């Protein structure tokens, strides 16, 4: 069956190069609507194919001048679709591992940061909505919130002639396994984390106001509790703020994950309000570069970024009082992400699972409260 499949890595490369390809997502329409491959088209035939009904896939019109890639949950039912499409003479392939494997796919966009001489790359895990950053200056580089294979950052740094010296997480993540520790081992860089008692491995603790040098650039630590109590943001040369899950381009971070009870979530929502006021005091043109986005990230080399004034304006709940904000945020908490307690456990222990990480991480990102 090998020649009728395509790997995530090969499809990623095709989309990155802009090669002509039609991607059909054969899962249920609501699954496609929640998370998919950028540019893919939903052909909702999953159930029919499992029942042996091929009418849906046989009647779908597809361009014959380009390959077709069919994707399902884990890459089994898509093989049935591919069999039918190949009978029609189409160059059809099934995505190996399906959407679960696609969770690890990534792409890169440069971020222009006026006011900083550093080069900033946004490394986006499109299959999961995680945003991470590689910041290069004077031959050195920092990585913030690494969420894709450590080799990706190492290779990008090599291409730019940078040595990775600094690795930071903005907080203990609940939605993806941090690659910070593995990347630190790979590169010999210093691993920093906001000061807290949660993790059980050695790290260099950061406190409000601390500064880290990367080449000639500076990252200043802003303590911003709320999403989690230890959450911090990092300000690059006074010009760009890496906000983690505290502030997104159009939402704020949920304050409830692993909170235990409503009382702690309420406490964290109040802390979040305070942190957002602190952030709002920065210049309005400061760029907001967050750690997640709620949509699959296209292969468009366009960074997910917004000026601070715009990001704050997009959060309607910030227009009222602290009390109203807390009530609005707690009233709009989305469904809890699957496996988040396991993921937090691995991240607190500094461990990486001995099995495919996508088995824990796959699925839509649900960090934000819009
Ligand atoms: Fe988070």
Q: What is the pLDDT of residues 101-145, one digit of tens each?
A: 999 999 999 999 999 999 999 999 999 999 999 999 999 999 999
CATH number assigned to the domain with residue range 107-369, chosen from the 4 options 3.60.15.10, 3.40.630.10, 3.30.470.10, 3.40.190.10: 3.60.15.10
User: Ligand 1 centroid vs 165 CA: distance in angstroms?
Assistant: 24
Predicted local distance difference test score (pLDDT) of residue 62: 97
User: Ligand 1 centroid vs 334 CA: distance in angstroms?
Assistant: 14
Instruction: Evaluate if residue 69 carries a pLDDT over 80.
Output: yes
User: Ligand 1 centroid vs 170 CA: distance in angstroms?
Assistant: 8
Predicted local distance difference test score (pLDDT) of residue 45: 98
User: Ligand 1 centroid vs 239 CA: distance in angstroms?
Assistant: 23
User: Ligand 1 centroid vs 176 CA: distance in angstroms?
Assistant: 8
> In Å, how far from its chain's centre is CA 196?
23
User: Ligand 1 centroid vs 201 CA: distance in angstroms?
Assistant: 19
What is the bridge-based pairing of β-strands 190-194 and 163-168? Answer: parallel
Predicted local distance difference test score (pLDDT) of residue 337: 78
User: Ligand 1 centroid vs 162 CA: distance in angstroms?
Assistant: 28
Query: Which among 307, 304, 308, 234 has a CA at the least distance from the CA of 276?
Result: 308
Instruction: Evaluate if residue 358 carries a pLDDT over 90.
Output: no
158-197: pLDDT as tens digits: 999 999 999 999 999 999 999 999 999 999 999 999 999 9
Predicted local distance difference test score (pLDDT) of residue 362: 78
The angle that helices 262-280 and 322-331 make with each other, rounded to 10 degrees, is 130
Instruction: Evaluate if residue 2 carries a pLDDT over 70.
Output: no
Give residue limits of the domains in the chain.
2-102, 107-369
User: Ligand 1 centroid vs 8 CA: distance in angstroms?
Assistant: 25
210-269: pLDDT as tens digits: 999 999 999 999 999 999 999 999 999 999 999 999 999 999 999 987 777 788 999 999
13-63: pLDDT as tens digits: 999 999 999 999 999 999 999 999 999 999 999 999 999 999 999 999 999
273, with CB counted inside 10 A (0-12, 13-18, 19+), is buried
User: Ligand 1 centroid vs 59 CA: distance in angstroms?
Assistant: 43
User: Ligand 1 centroid vs 81 CA: distance in angstroms?
Assistant: 37
Predicted local distance difference test score (pLDDT) of residue 1: 47
User: Ligand 1 centroid vs 339 CA: distance in angstroms?
Assistant: 13
User: Ligand 1 centroid vs 174 CA: distance in angstroms?
Assistant: 5
User: Ligand 1 centroid vs 35 CA: distance in angstroms?
Assistant: 19
The answer to which of 46-55, 117-126, 294-303, 352-361 has the lowest mean pLDDT is 352-361
User: Ligand 1 centroid vs 367 CA: distance in angstroms?
Assistant: 6
Query: Which among 109, 132, 147, 89 has a CA at the least distance from the CA of 300?
Result: 109
Neighbours of 156 (CB within 10 A): 18
- What is the CATH superfamily name and number for domain 2-102? Rhodanese-like domain (3.40.250.10)
User: Ligand 1 centroid vs 89 CA: distance in angstroms?
Assistant: 46
Q: What tokens were used for 43?
A: 């052909």
């Amino acid at each position: 069956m090998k020649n009728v499949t395509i790997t995530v890595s090969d499809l990623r490369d095709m989309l990155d190069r802009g090669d002509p390809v039609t991607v059909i997502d054969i899962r249920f329409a609501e699954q496609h609507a929640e998370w998919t491959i950028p540019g893919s088209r939903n052909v909702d035939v999953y159930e029919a194919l499992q029942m042996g009904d091929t009418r849906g896939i046989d009647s779908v019109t597809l361009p014959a001048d380009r390959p077709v890639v069919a994707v399902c949950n884990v890459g089994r039912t898509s093989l049935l679709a591919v069999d039918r499409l190949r009978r029609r003479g189409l160059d059809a392939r099934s995505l190996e591992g399906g959407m679960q494997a696609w969770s690890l796919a990534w792409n890169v966009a440069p971020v222009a940061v006026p006011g900083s001489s550093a080069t900033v790359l946004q490394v986006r895990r499109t299959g999961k909505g995680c945003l991470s950053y590689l910041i290069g200056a004077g031959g050195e580089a920092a990585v913030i919130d690494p969420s894709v294979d450590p080799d990706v950052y190492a290779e990008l740094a090599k291409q730019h002639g940078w040595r990775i010296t600094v690795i930071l997480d903005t907080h203990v993540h609940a939605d993806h396994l941090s690659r910070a520790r593995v990347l630190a081992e790979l590169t010999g860089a210093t691993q920093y984390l906001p000061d807290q008692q949660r993790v059980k491995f050695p790290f260099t603790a950061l406190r409000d106001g601390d500064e880290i040098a990367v080449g000639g650039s500076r990252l200043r630590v802003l303590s911003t509790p709320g999403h989690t109590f230890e959450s911090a943001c990092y300000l690059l040369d006074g010009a760009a703020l890496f906000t983690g899950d505290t502030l997104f381009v159009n939402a704020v971070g949920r304050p409830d994950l692993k909170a235990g009870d409503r009382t702690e979530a309420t406490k964290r929502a109040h802390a979040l309000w305070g942190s957002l006021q602190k952030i709002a005091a920065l210049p309005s043109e400061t760029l907001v570069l967050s750690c997640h986005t709620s949509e699959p990230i296209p292969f468009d080399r366009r960074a997910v970024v917004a000026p601070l004034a715009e990001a704050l304006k997009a959060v309607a709940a910030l227009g009222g009082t602290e009390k109203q904000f807390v009530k609005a945020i707690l009233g709009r908490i989305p469904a809890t992400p699957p496996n988040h307690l396991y993921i937090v456990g691995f991240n607190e222990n500094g461990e990486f699972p001995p099995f495919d990480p996508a088995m824990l991480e796959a699925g839509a990102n649900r960090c934000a409260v819009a």
